[in-house]
Structure 1
Amino acid sequence: MNSRDLAVGIFFMSQTALGMLGNSALLCCFIIADFVGIKAKPTDLIVKHLTWANFIVLFKGIPESIAAFSQTYYVDYVSCKLVLYFHRVGRGVSLVSTSLLSVFQAIIISPSNSKWAQLKIRALDIIGPSLGLCWALQMLVYAFILVYATDIRGGGNVTGIKMFEYCAVVKPRRPINTLTLILLTSNDVMFLGLMMWASGYMVFILLKHKQRVKHIHRSQSLRSSPETRATQRILTIVSSFVLFYVMSIVFTAYLSVLEGTSKWVSNAGATVAACFPAFCPFLLLRHYSSISRLCCPSS
């Protein structure tokens, strides 16, 4: 084992352990909050689904770490299909859940005289069905992975196959490959755009509200006002999400059109895809109001 493989293995293992720890802590906070009787927010259900999706995405880091430490480690035929499939489904659900969280928060904080006000009550009733549709849609979009994913031994005699660390993927014909690339990219871009629009709308509402109550904060700096802090939190979460997922889209698209397999590109894509699921729970633990009330009742 060379030093590069050792460094990659340690990084994958650390990233996976950190993400698992953070998401476990977030789930434990929700369980304790339910146990002590803290009233749940309507968007808590979305955050719970987001956390489970993060777990699924991070699970791929386990075989990635083992493959980096052991060059002879391979996943069997069925496990290879399931690992790759549920990783992509979890990544898609994480993206869509964050988009839904932004949209529902935008609806909730919208002024009572806006056209979105009438959706506030109805929005609470469709959170559950929207999450169910989210899982079903992502499982359908990535169903092709179950067809083209195979193990290393099974793909040894197949032409047009891409060998990765512990699995292999049969490359489809060019028209199917192009159509799949367009479908996946459109899925990511659509929900990223929806999330950015909803977050931009929230920032706009908060800034307008800050202007209206500016006289209340004359004794405080604008930096310390509640509206400014809320705006900064939204921008932090959204910008980090967009940064990691745009990079993930780029690596995924490049791997799809690349002839052969690049170990560096494959490792970089896996690392970037797991960045937000690993750091997301720590952002939520710090800024999510339900968790803040649990950790600090006086808040």
Structure 2
Amino acid sequence: MLSLKHVYFLQAGMGISANAFLFLFHIFTIHQDHRPKPTDVTTCHLAFVHIVMLLTALDILSMNMFKSLNFPNDLKCKSSFYLSRVMRGLSICTTCLLSIIQAITISPSTFCISRFKQKLPRYISHAFFCFWSLNLCSCSNIIIYTVAYSNMTNPPNIIKFCSFSSMNPIIMELFFTFSLSQNVFFVGLMLLSSAYMVIFLSSHQRRSDYLHSRRVFPRTSPAKRATQTVLLLVSFFVIVYCLDIIMSSVSTILGKYDPVVLDVQRLVGNVYATVSPLVLISSDKRIVGILQSMLDMASILTSR
């Protein structure tokens, strides 16, 4: 179990560092550009959500901070699980929004969804408000029903495990069904927008093969490269989400959060939050150019 903890903290440390770098880069980009790209704003929001998610998973918010403030154990459990669920929901919504934005961005002017291109900045702020409101409300049952359990052999500030208190089966099924329907809806939108982008890229590739000579190697356009990045993120998210939702559903139905099960679930659930910033950083030529310049400058300074 010790090795699992080491992997767990290593994963969270890498994810927080990568997301923090991505977040600060896009904050600077948005500040410098009076008309930032919709994808920059959405990526910045996604990085922020993942930072909070990983911090919560590390119990920096739920345990260390609250321990110094002498907060009750129930509040530690409620805050930890509530923040974790809200951030996971926002991660799904924001990834879905990023996929939809990219599908709208690459759509030709003759297609019906292209009319939303000019209005995307205004719609994004509305979408963020709806996402936060939806997830804050849909996870409200955690605040009411999550409690902390400990035995007499544990120190007073150590939680044995967190669990749901007795809940009406009908209420539990309603919240579970609503949460699952919400996630399935956004994952479905991701898959639809991804399918559209795959079809568009395939048709675009056929046109490129027809127009270009075989002796000419066509360069990948920035739009196509960005679309491929989003498709990679969505595909990876769906795989991780399917594993995470199975474990989360079992824990919710059983109504018991064992520390070992919770550690494994968080390890799987935080894979996307750790890998996604690395994919976005490696595919952004602006960031790659900055990192390359820093490496070149470092090599010059060390050679002197």
With the shorter chain as reference, the TM-score category is 0.7 to 0.9
1:35 is displaced (CA, Å) by 6.2
Q: Is the CA contact (8 Å cut-off) linking 1:29 and 1:294 kept in structure 2?
A: no
User: Residues of 2 paired with 1:261 and 1:248: CA distance?
Assistant: 14
User: Residues of 1 paired with 2:273 and 2:51: CA distance?
Assistant: 8
Q: 1:177 to 1:296 in 2, by over 3 A?
A: same
1:252 to 202, 223, 248: 248
Q: 1:100 to 1:84 in 2, by over 3 A?
A: same
2:270 counterpart residue number = 274
Q: Is the CA contact (8 Å cut-off) linking 1:171 and 1:177 kept in structure 2?
A: no
- The alignment status of 1:91 with 2:112, answered yes or no, reads no
AA matched with 1:121:
Q
User: Residues of 2 paired with 1:97 and 1:35: CA distance?
Assistant: 21
1:20 is displaced (CA, Å) by 0.7
User: Residues of 2 paired with 1:217 and 1:265: CA distance?
Assistant: 57
1:287 to 275, 283, 302: 283
1:228 is displaced (CA, Å) by 7.3
2:12 counterpart residue number = 16
1:219 counterpart residue number = 215
- The alignment status of 1:7 with 2:15, answered yes or no, reads no
Q: Which is worse superposed, 52-61 or 225-234?
A: 225-234
Q: 1:232 to 1:30 in 2, by over 3 A?
A: closer
1:234 is displaced (CA, Å) by 3.6
Q: Is the CA contact (8 Å cut-off) linking 1:63 and 1:166 kept in structure 2?
A: no
1:178 counterpart residue number = 173
- The SS at the match of 2:275 is helix
Q: 1:237 to 1:63 in 2, by over 3 A?
A: same
1:260 is displaced (CA, Å) by 5.1
Q: Give TM-score, length-normalised by structure 1.
A: 0.81
1:70 counterpart residue number = none
1:190 counterpart residue number = 185
1:236 is displaced (CA, Å) by 2.1
AA matched with 1:100:
L
- The SS at the match of 1:112 is coil
Q: Is the CA contact (8 Å cut-off) linking 2:146 and 2:162 kept in structure 1?
A: yes
1:143 to 111, 136, 140: 140
User: Residues of 2 paired with 1:43 and 1:293: CA distance?
Assistant: 19
Q: 1:44 to 1:230 in 2, by over 3 A?
A: closer
AA matched with 2:125:
G
AA matched with 1:190:
F
User: Residues of 2 paired with 1:194 and 1:63: CA distance?
Assistant: 32
User: Residues of 1 paired with 2:292 and 2:125: CA distance?
Assistant: 29
- The SS at the match of 2:164 is strand
- The SS at the match of 1:83 is helix
AA matched with 1:115:
C
- The SS at the match of 1:151 is strand
User: Residues of 2 paired with 1:293 and 1:49: CA distance?
Assistant: 23
1:167 is displaced (CA, Å) by 2.8
1:242 counterpart residue number = 238
Q: What whole-Å deviation, never above 9, does each CA across 1:126-157 have from its counterpart, x for those lacking one? A: 11111111111110110111101122249xxx
Gaps of 5+ in 2: 64-70, 152-158, 294-304
**Alignment of structure 1 residues 36-47 onto 2, 5 Å:** 40-47=36-43
1:285 is displaced (CA, Å) by 0.5
1:157 counterpart residue number = none
Q: Is the CA contact (8 Å cut-off) linking 2:225 and 2:283 kept in structure 1?
A: no
1:29 is displaced (CA, Å) by 1.9
- The SS at the match of 1:104 is helix
AA matched with 1:245:
Y
Q: Which is worse superposed, 212-221 or 43-52?
A: 212-221
1:204 counterpart residue number = 199
- The SS at the match of 2:38 is coil
1:102 counterpart residue number = 99
Gaps of 5+ in 1: 68-73, 155-163
User: Residues of 1 paired with 2:104 and 2:123: CA distance?
Assistant: 13
Q: What whole-Å deviation, never above 9, does each CA across 1:61-94 have from its counterpart, x for those lacking one? A: 3239x99xxxxxx972222211111111111011
Percent identity, please: 26
Q: 1:296 to 1:42 in 2, by over 3 A?
A: farther
Q: Is the CA contact (8 Å cut-off) linking 1:80 and 1:149 kept in structure 2?
A: yes
Q: Is the CA contact (8 Å cut-off) linking 1:77 and 1:150 kept in structure 2?
A: yes
- Alignment RMSD (CA, Å): 3.0
Q: Is the CA contact (8 Å cut-off) linking 2:16 and 2:51 kept in structure 1?
A: yes
2:53 to 51, 57, 76: 57
